[in-house]
Structure 1
Amino acid sequence: MFRLQRLEITGFKSFADYTEVIFTGKGITAVVGPNGCGKSNVSEAIAWVLGEQSAKNLRGQEMKDVVFQGTKKRNPSGMAEVVLHLIRDETEYISEETELEDIDAKLGEIDENAVNVDVIEAEHLQDDAEEDVTLLADDIGTEVEMETVKAAQVGSVNTIQRKVATKRRWRPRNFALDFAPGESVSVTRRLYLSGESDYLLNDKTCRLRDIQDLFSGTGLSGAHYAIVEQGRIGQILSSKPSNRRGLIEEAAGISKFRKRQRAAESRLESAKTNLSRITDIVAEIEKQTRSLRRQANKTKRFKILKEELRVLLKQTYAAEGRDLSIKIGELESKLAEANKKEREILGQVSEKDEAFRESTGLARSAEENLTEVRANHSKNALERDRSERELGYQQQQTKEIETRSSVLDAEIKNTGERIRLIGNEIERLEKEASIESEKADSEQQILLKAESEYRAKLDEMRGVEVELETERESHLEHTAAVERLAEIERQFETNLEKLGERIEGLQREHERAEKVFAERKQEAVSLEKSVREERKKLEALHAEKQRRIEDANSAREKLEAEEGALKTVKDKYSQQKHRLDTLKELDENRAVYAPSVQKLFAQQKKIGVNFLGTLADEINVGEKAESVIENLFGTFLQTVLVKSERDAKKAVKYLNDNNLGRIPVLVFDTGSQSKKDAMGNDRSIASFLGIGKDFAAVLAKVFPREMSAKVVDSLDKAKSRSDEIVITQNGDLIIGGKLYIGGRANSNDKNSSLLALKRELRELGKSAGKTQKETEKAQKKVDKTMKLLSGCEDEIVDLQAFIVKNEREVLSHEIHSKSLVQEIERAERHKKVVKDEITQITAEIRQIEKRRIESQKNAKTAEKARLLSADKIEAVTKQLNAVRKVVEAENQKLSEKRTQAQVAAERKRSAQNALARLKTENADFEARIERQRLEKKQNVTRLEEIASSRARLKEKIALAEMEYSQEEVELNEAIKHLKEARETTDSMSAKLAELNKASAMARDERAGLEINHTELVTRLESLTEKCVQDLNVDLKELVKNTELDEDFEFVAARERVSELRDKLDRFGAINMLALEELGETEERLEFLTSQRQDIVDSIEAAEQALSEIKRRSRQRFKDAFEAINKNFTEFFAELFGGGQGEMKLLEAEDILESGIEIVAQPPGKRLQNMLLLSGGEKAMTAIALVLAIFKYRPSPFCLLDEVDAPLDDANVGRFVKRIAEMSEKTQFIVITHNKRTMEAAKALYGVTMQEAGVSKIVSVRFE
């Protein structure tokens, strides 16, 4: 138990200055003062320093609102600080503390079983493994188990051990037992405006949790029933049953058990989670260990083959790159000549186009001239009509001005009469204002004299008040000094007792150190014997491992014999895939098409059309017939296909707008088109082209001559008339019976052939798919053989795991042995430290005795000074009362004089305002008559201007009629010139079309060369990318720096590269650090296996501790509930003078979680809902409950903030009587406005605000 001694407040809410409140040891202390002076800030300061975390409960929105915010005269404070001084009295509730020690011991055992930390070095761990685990602040005990799982994911045994060593254990400090009876305790809380917060215990930094533990079970923590803030007395009854339960739990003292229950449940849940995770991790690490052993065997062979491959790749890339560069150079020369020819034709087209644009410009000028003549003709007609309307408007305006002039004459006469009457009234009011001004000045002189006399009396009274305040401050300082010296005397006595107890404890500590020294000696001998036995087991495992290695070598030879089968088929597939990718890229980019077609497809999103492809995409013919179809359709094979006429118009418009040349566009939806095999059984041209009937019908309309061609088996059977075309199955062409076309295309022609490219894409796709299936089949066979080898290697890996495990066990024992030696040395040092501390404490006791004698002398001097200041305060108070009566009389006289002066001044202001208003009105009328005269003069001028304007308008109308007739002749001449210009433009357009046709032929020739050039460049770029990927070297630098031998064979080198690639591919992923990783993984596996068993033991211990906590909590809550319920019934009847009140559990079968319902029946009333009680009845019921709790579990002190406000005098009397009886065991601090409550107090503290916004304390103690 603690008793409240002193409260220090600085910068908290309205207490801007340092304020000290000293509380008496027993009885009731009352805090009084007017509304808004800061009384409740005292109770909130105590709640805040004890750990209140809700700003709302402190009447704020955020926590920094508790810092003094400043006033008009003061700056805001930068910090709020509250210090609470308590003193521990005789020890109580020892049995409860003993139970807590038992439970803490069990929780500590859980942590010790989780990980053995005796052999772990105390080093800090890196933060890399902290990402996926979050620990609550109260779950410190689970951190050891969780750390084992995290460490398993990132490091070796030494790393894991260092991580666990740095983690905290469950070692709760019981602060209540750390302070001896009579020892002082100070609790401090600071809050800075920056948001930083500090908690201090006896001027040493601590945690909020430490303060909560210190007061847990005393009524000052958690639900803190010992502090009843303003308005909270009613909330006790209106709160939820589950929230109301917190009061009973705090009184029962099971809040500490609750905390340990949460810790145990958290440990249990975390341990189960950790067990599942660590089991999964162990399985994964075992799998990883086997894989690492296989990788280590492959690493050496892989490095040798990798270096040979790198040398060959340099040579092959250099040879192929040099050859492609030469071919590209030759092709670029040919392409330059083709471009030159095309530019010459384009130059001729440009010249004709310029002439065409010039002709078009002349036609456009003629058309613009015609438009201008027409516009002038219409403008003159419009101007003539406008002038006629303006003439009519001015005639009407003349009539209106003459009428307005007559009205102005009458208004000027009336305004002059009004000005004369206002002048007479102004003369009368000037005389009246002069008389009232003289009266007001006389009354003001009388008032000034009365105020001077009042200020003299007021200054005299303030002087006396200052003297009284000085004496009061002196008295408070002397009183505080007496209390402080008394406290110091008690502190000296307490310190002497504690030091004596400390010497006895050190002697017991010395005996324990001797015992530890002997135990560690015996354990070191036993550990040495275990190390010898483990070494014998290790030798047997090494022999078994050597036999298994010989079996694995035999299986490996079988695997190498089967690995070569995959090489040939992979080479073939790689070549086909490379060629297929190149052809697809050319087809997707439309590289074999004219540049205008390429640009059209590239801009189809911008045009807003989704092109379906080209005519060549839809034709499917054999190799023999490709050239004949290209001769038959020519450039029309590049015809672009669209879905609708709307899309076709968009495409043509884009071609015309961008001058891309002429491209045919065909409307047809290929969605319904199904291709047929080339050269079918029938003899129709549609079957020969490999197209469907619908598409053939469309082509017949567009290309009637070509689609009417006949198809025959051979040239011998061909018969052709002069008006028809014949095609043979071998690709020969006969036109009109006279022109025969035959032969095969050479390789260069094939590269620029649209149909050849399409055919090769189809054939190569089928061939590559077949080769890929053969590759997969061969790979499965190799994988099967490799799996057999892996089984042999796994057996070797398992044996190695047992060997490493035994080696780690030996290492662990050796580390433990070193740790025992260190502990023996620590025990020796501990004995020496204890002896030195006993000597130091003895010297400290002598020093305290000397300081105690000096403090007693100072206490006597302070008491004499306090009594002398009290006498001075009484004399000055009498003098102040007499002066106040004189000041009040003078103030009454001054009020009467001030009223008379105000009446005279008001009359003066009224006369002056009336005079000013009339003068303003007179000035307004004079201005109005001046404006009317000016308007009349302006009307005369306006009539003259209108007459002049009417004459000008008549002349303008006559001139417009003459210009209209002349423009009729100019209009007919412009129409004739426009017709002649348009005929010239049509002639130039026909000539330009012929030149565009010649340009298209040159463009086709250049396109074939570009296709060949693009293919070679693509191959070179692809080779460059592969060179960078394989060698991380630029191809140009490689060609420049690589010298090839004369006997270098490119084909043989490529075959060897493919062979090496296949072997390296069969290796799979190679880990160059496999050996190093293997050692760490085996080390980690061994450690985690032992930790898994430790976690199983921890789960069992946590379940036992949780069961014990619940059993004890249930029994303590039951005992407390029954006792408090009995007390509540008694206090209810006593405070109400009868009636019945009791508490009920909502769920009696679940006593640990059940809510609590309060039943109240005041005398003479039926049992009813709590919310229907009056305000006074609710307050009395809540007070009865609080008093019942205090009777069962007295708190160190109790703070009640205006709980008696709703009570009448009779109930206040019963309330005061009861708390007076209970004040023998508990300090009561009551904030009140009630006089009867004040009368019962042994000490009164008055809270005032002499300065606006700043609270101060004045105290009075009654003997």
Structure 2
Amino acid sequence: MQLKHIKLSGFKSFVDPTKISFPTNMVGVVGPNGCGKSNVIDAIRWVLGELSAKNLRGESMVDVIFNGSEKRKASGQCSIELLFDNSSAKIGGEYASYNEVSIKRVMTRDAQSDYFINNAKCRRKDVQDIFLGTGLGPSSYAIIEQGMVSKLVSAKPDELRTHIEEAAGVSKYRERRRETESRIKRTKENLSRVKDIRDEIGRLIKRLENQAKAAEKYKKLNDEKSQIELDTAILFSLEAKNNRDDLQKKLDSLNRDLKIKNAESETIQSQIDQFRTENESVLTEYESAQKNFYSIGAEIAKREANLQNINKTENETKFKLEKTKENLEKAKETEKNFDELSPSEQAIHILNEIIATLKKYSIQNDSILDKANKLKVLLAEILNIASAQSKTLTEEYQSRQEDLSKEIFEAEKLKSSIEEEMQTYVEESSQAESVLISLRQKQSKFNEDLRSLENNKSIVELDSRSISEKITNIRLDLKTYEINLENSNKKIKAAGIDIEKIDFTKYEDLSISELEDKLADIEAKIIRLGAINLAAPEEIEEESKRKEELDKQYDDLIEALDKLNGAIKKIDNETKTIFKDSFDAVNIKLKEVFPKLFGGGLAELNLTDDDPLHAGVILMARPPGKKNSSISQLSGGEKALTALALVFAIFDLNPAPFCLLDEVDAPLDDLNTLRFINMVEEMSKTVQFIFITHNKVSMERSDYLMGVTMQEAGVSRMVSVDVNQALELAES
């Protein structure tokens, strides 16, 4: 089986769709640092189902998708496809008939991966199952990346054992053992569940057996109950026939009494209706008299209100008259005082004396004299105006007094008129009240007679209702007897007994009360039994069948468990044998390869335990001329050669389809590189080698060179050279 080519798209620096072909068994991948050479190995590891981002030199799985550059946008997904030549049918199973097998993996930005085998969608497990035991499984020794050389030689015993197991094909047995253990676990779980169900069904059957005993007791008591109920029905049938006729006679008698009472009630009702008709004229007259009485009372109330208003107005007028008289007297007093010497007159007199004094003493001052004369004239005018006003006010008060006196006179006159009208209305009201009292007496007599008739009617109706209730009760009793008789007859017929052929003389010594007491006793016993499961016998039969099936399943599971444990032992024995043989073969080959690479020395593998099934593997290596006690004391180049010796020894045991080497010759000098490449060239006859290198010796010895360039920043491109063709062209 050989890797023919890889198709990459959107994976790390290979953004463009790129096809990398591997036409020979020694293909060298070269290029400057950082151009994406190791991405080729990462692509192969990724498509084979790698889930660790750390092993792919990233922090998350999404990091394998091209993340963009200065000139390009990030890709939305990446895809890798490997095409294998399967003409040797090394990939077996359903794919053995295919000459070519393609493995493809596609992942989007949401970290969702899809796997395809020959373009048919599949699971990751399906991809890994194809390569189990070929050296390309999860513990692959065919892919040696940078840093893995030192990890391989310094690996823990258990880790180193996995590589031997992968070469020995034990990984397939390991997978089968894990699957068998998983089946054993599920079988034990099923066994536990079946056992629990069996135990539960066993307990259920015991409970059902107790319930079946209770059901048997219940059936016996129920049969006794049915017999007593039948005897009761026969006795009740006999009693009901006798009582039914008596009840019918009572019912007929009460119906006659009810008809009499109903007729009497109708007679009284007709008397009441006639009495009310005759009394309608009295009611009309009473209503008219009442209306007249209220009308007269309203007129009297209206005039009383008018009289109150007149009295109120008259009192107010009298008060105003008294005030007017007082004001008139004051006005007269004021007019009288003006005849005496007032302050104004006194002022005029003083002015006259001043003027006389001026003239007497011949004081020549015309200004003072003129002003004194003017003041005298003004005072005289003021005095005349005040006198005139005093006389006008007196006349006004006298006129007001006369008007008020006239108003009081008119009010007294109106009062007399209203009092005369009120006297007339009072007499009319007295007459109307007398008529109303008379009519009330007639109405009271009518109401009393009407109540008497209605009381008589109520008594008759009460008697009718009492009779109706008795009739209803008798009908109910009669209906009850009929229903009970019918039910009794049904029970008797259901028991297969002909009613006409019953010998009632056998039941003369029985009474219904005694039978009812027995029935109550039996029912009490039934109640004490509690809930009864009448289906318990059928359920016991059903659960017993179920338990038999579970017992069979339990035995089958025990048998399956024994077979699985036997399979585990067989797998362990086969694993132990195969591993021990493979371990010895690798150890022999290692002792042969190591001296070739080192020019001498010794290397061997040892088990950590006597049990080959679980023992770890320890690698011991002593280059020529050294007596080191552990691998850690070797130099970097020595560790690399030791790891390669181990890988080549493993490859000799079980050659993988191809071997990927990522700069494993970097720590080697030219001599050791030559030894290494000679070994590779020798093994390339059966194994395809794809190695990444910077070493000129390795480049020269390769058949086919793949150049990885990065002319555009962040984007890898491939350039291929067939070395053999190039040499032929150079020689020609």
Question: Which residue type is aligned with residue 55 of structure 2?
Answer: N
Q: Structure 1 residue 215: deviation in Å?
A: 0.8
Partner of 1:43: 41
The answer on whether the counterparts of 2:89 and 2:99 sit within 8 Å (CA) in structure 1 is no
Q: Distance in 1 between matches of 2:523 and 2:680?
A: 96
Q: Structure 1 residue 287: deviation in Å?
A: 2.2
Residue 1171 in 1 paired to residue 632 in 2? yes
Structure 1 gap ranges (5+):
93-174, 299-548, 559-1044, 1048-1058
Q: Structure 1 residue 289: deviation in Å?
A: 4.1
Matches for 1:228-267 after TM superposition, within 5 Å: 228-267=144-183
Q: Secondary structure at the match of 1:69?
A: coil
Question: Which residue type is aligned with residue 1121 of structure 1?
Answer: F
- State the TM-score, normalized to the length of structure 2: 0.55
Residue 226 in 1 paired to residue 142 in 2? yes
Partner of 2:579: 1117
Partner of 2:83: 85
The answer on whether the counterparts of 2:710 and 2:716 sit within 8 Å (CA) in structure 1 is yes
Change (3 A) 1:552 1:190: same
Matches for 1:766-781 after TM superposition, within 5 Å: none
Q: Distance in 2 between matches of 1:1062 and 1:51?
A: 77
Partner of 2:66: 68
Partner of 1:53: 51
Matches for 1:361-440 after TM superposition, within 5 Å: none
Q: Structure 1 residue 274: deviation in Å?
A: 3.1
The answer on whether the counterparts of 2:606 and 2:619 sit within 8 Å (CA) in structure 1 is yes
The answer on whether the counterparts of 1:1170 and 1:1178 sit within 8 Å (CA) in structure 2 is yes
- Listed one character per residue, the Cα deviations across residues 1196-1239 of structure 1 (whole Å, up to 9, x for unaligned) are 11110111111111111110111011111111000111111111
Residue 1108 in 1 paired to residue 567 in 2? no
Q: Distance in 2 between matches of 1:4 and 1:1179?
A: 25
Partner of 2:554: 1092
Question: Which residue type is aligned with residue 57 of structure 2?
Answer: R
Instruction: Tell me the matched-pair count.
Output: 434
Matches for 1:1137-1152 after TM superposition, within 5 Å: 1137-1147=599-609, 1149-1152=610-613
Q: Secondary structure at the match of 1:60?
A: coil
Question: Which residue type is aligned with residue 89 of structure 1?
Answer: S
Q: Distance in 2 between matches of 1:1229 and 1:44?
A: 13
Residue in structure 1 matching 2:678, options 1213, 1217, 1241: 1217
Partner of 1:188: 104
Partner of 1:1247: 708
Question: Which residue type is aligned with residue 1112 of structure 1?
Answer: E
The answer on whether the counterparts of 2:80 and 2:105 sit within 8 Å (CA) in structure 1 is yes
Change (3 A) 1:278 1:182: closer
Question: Which residue type is aligned with residue 3 of structure 2?
Answer: L
Change (3 A) 1:1111 1:1074: same
- Listed one character per residue, the Cα deviations across residues 375-434 of structure 1 (whole Å, up to 9, x for unaligned) are xxxxxxxxxxxxxxxxxxxxxxxxxxxxxxxxxxxxxxxxxxxxxxxxxxxxxxxxxxxx
Percent identity over paired residues: 47
The answer on whether the counterparts of 1:3 and 1:89 sit within 8 Å (CA) in structure 2 is no
Q: Distance in 1 between matches of 2:527 and 2:131?
A: 71
Question: Which residue type is aligned with residue 260 of structure 1?
Answer: R
Question: Which residue type is aligned with residue 31 of structure 1?
Answer: V
Partner of 1:275: 191
Q: Structure 1 residue 255: deviation in Å?
A: 0.8
Change (3 A) 1:30 1:281: same
Q: Secondary structure at the match of 2:95?
A: coil
Residue 203 in 1 paired to residue 119 in 2? yes
Change (3 A) 1:1258 1:278: same
Matches for 1:216-615 after TM superposition, within 5 Å: 216-291=132-207
Residue 1188 in 1 paired to residue 649 in 2? yes
Change (3 A) 1:550 1:1067: closer
Question: Which residue type is aligned with residue 1231 of structure 1?
Answer: I
Residue 10 in 1 paired to residue 14 in 2? no
Q: Secondary structure at the match of 1:178?
A: helix
The answer on whether the counterparts of 1:295 and 1:1074 sit within 8 Å (CA) in structure 2 is yes
Q: Distance in 2 between matches of 1:1136 and 1:91?
A: 37
Matches for 1:639-678 after TM superposition, within 5 Å: none
The answer on whether the counterparts of 1:44 and 1:229 sit within 8 Å (CA) in structure 2 is no
- Listed one character per residue, the Cα deviations across residues 525-562 of structure 1 (whole Å, up to 9, x for unaligned) are xxxxxxxxxxxxxxxxxxxxxxxx8688569999xxxx
Change (3 A) 1:1100 1:182: closer
- Listed one character per residue, the Cα deviations across residues 831-878 of structure 1 (whole Å, up to 9, x for unaligned) are xxxxxxxxxxxxxxxxxxxxxxxxxxxxxxxxxxxxxxxxxxxxxxxx
Change (3 A) 1:1146 1:1120: same
Question: Which residue type is aligned with residue 568 of structure 2?
Answer: L
Question: Which residue type is aligned with residue 719 of structure 2?
Answer: V
Q: Distance in 2 between matches of 1:203 and 1:1092?
A: 44
Partner of 1:359: none
The root-mean-square deviation of aligned C-alpha atoms, in Å, is 3.4
Change (3 A) 1:1062 1:1151: farther
Change (3 A) 1:48 1:1075: farther
The answer on whether the counterparts of 2:87 and 2:100 sit within 8 Å (CA) in structure 1 is no
Partner of 2:501: none
Change (3 A) 1:1082 1:236: same
Partner of 1:20: 19
- Listed one character per residue, the Cα deviations across residues 249-300 of structure 1 (whole Å, up to 9, x for unaligned) are 01111111111122233333443443343123112113224545766998xx
Change (3 A) 1:291 1:1166: same
Q: Structure 1 residue 1076: deviation in Å?
A: 10
Partner of 1:845: none
Question: Which residue type is aligned with residue 1126 of structure 1?
Answer: I
Change (3 A) 1:289 1:8: same
Q: Structure 1 residue 27: deviation in Å?
A: 2.6
Structure number with greater Rg is: 2
Change (3 A) 1:1125 1:281: same
Matches for 1:901-916 after TM superposition, within 5 Å: none
Q: Distance in 1 between matches of 2:569 and 2:221?
A: 58
Question: Which residue type is aligned with residue 109 of structure 2?
Answer: L
The answer on whether the counterparts of 1:90 and 1:181 sit within 8 Å (CA) in structure 2 is no
Q: Secondary structure at the match of 2:55?
A: coil
Change (3 A) 1:181 1:263: closer
Q: Distance in 1 between matches of 2:631 and 2:77?
A: 43
- State the TM-score, normalized to the length of structure 1: 0.32
Question: Which residue type is aligned with residue 620 of structure 2?
Answer: V
Change (3 A) 1:1089 1:1175: same
Q: Distance in 1 between matches of 2:98 and 2:525?
A: 86
Q: Secondary structure at the match of 1:1100?
A: helix
Q: Structure 1 residue 214: deviation in Å?
A: 0.8
The answer on whether the counterparts of 2:218 and 2:532 sit within 8 Å (CA) in structure 1 is no
Question: Which residue type is aligned with residue 1206 of structure 1?
Answer: P
Change (3 A) 1:1087 1:33: same
The answer on whether the counterparts of 2:142 and 2:656 sit within 8 Å (CA) in structure 1 is yes
Residue in structure 1 matching 2:589, options 1113, 1127, 1132: 1127
Change (3 A) 1:1256 1:1083: farther
Q: Distance in 2 between matches of 1:1091 and 1:18?
A: 57
The answer on whether the counterparts of 2:205 and 2:543 sit within 8 Å (CA) in structure 1 is yes
Q: Secondary structure at the match of 2:173?
A: helix
Q: Secondary structure at the match of 1:1102?
A: helix
The worse-fitting range, judged by mean Cα deviation, of 1070-1079 and 1230-1239 is: 1070-1079
Partner of 2:228: none
